[in-house]
Amino acid sequence: MNTIPGKKLISGCSAGLPLSHDGKDRLVPGVRALLDSGTGIAACPEQLGGLPVPREICEIEDGDGFDVLDGTARVVTRSGVDVTSEFLRGARRMLEIARQHGCRKAVLKARSPSCGRGTIYDGSFSGRLKPGHGVAAALLLREGIEVLTDEDFQ
């Protein structure tokens, strides 16, 4: 298990909370240990942005989280509903929480359109991956917060 000092912002689903798009958790015991030890602050940017649990699966079209932040890409549901504003709102709220708790690191859900770092789904809803970051991960990175994924704790 990976250990890092100080408070960490963590994806709620990876900590075992039923916040994933399907209303289930994506428990990673090493991430849950951060929450249980009091060093992890669990949150879900999609929920914080106003999306329900469960919710329709979403992907970033025509770019990654940095492009969404810059207004050149958008986040859509499988049925084509634009949820970009919810993803931006959730990312901003994650940043606020990180700042409130003095978090300099985050442990987020790999491949997620919100939380993915380094690799995300390609926007085709086919299961294919592409290089890039999710919206919340991109904002945290842009603001100087180190982002790890839950896969670093498996």
Evaluate whether 16 touches 32 at the Cβ level (below 8 Å).
yes
Domain count for the chain, please give it.
1
Which residue range forms the structural domain that includes residue 109?
A: 8-153
Residue 5 pLDDT level (bands cut at 50, 70, 90): low
Q: CA-CA distance, 101 to 9, in Å (whole number)? A: 8
1 belongs to a structural domain? no
Nearest CA to 44 out of 109, 101, 120, 131 is that of: 109
Alpha helices by DSSP H, listed for the chain, are: 29-37, 45-48, 65-69, 84-100, 135-142
Q: Is residue 58 part of a domain?
A: yes
Confidence category of residue 1, pLDDT binned at 50, 70, 90: very low
Q: Does residue 154 have a pLDDT over 90?
A: no
C-alpha distances in angstroms, 61 versus 117, 138, 142? 16, 15, 20
The residue among 1, 38, 31 whose CA lies nearest residue 16 is: 31
Report the predicted TM-score, pTM, of the whole model to 2 decimal places: 0.94
Asked whether residue 3 is domain-assigned, the answer is no
Inform me whether the pLDDT recorded for 19 exceeds 80. Answer: yes
Residue pLDDT, tens place only, 40-99? 999 999 999 999 999 999 999 999 999 999 999 999 999 999 999 999 999 999 999 999
What average pLDDT does this structure show over 103-113?
97
pLDDT at 112 over 60: yes
**Residue 4: pLDDT band with limits 50, 70, 90:** low
In a domain, 103, yes or no: yes
Residue 148 scores a pLDDT above 60 = yes
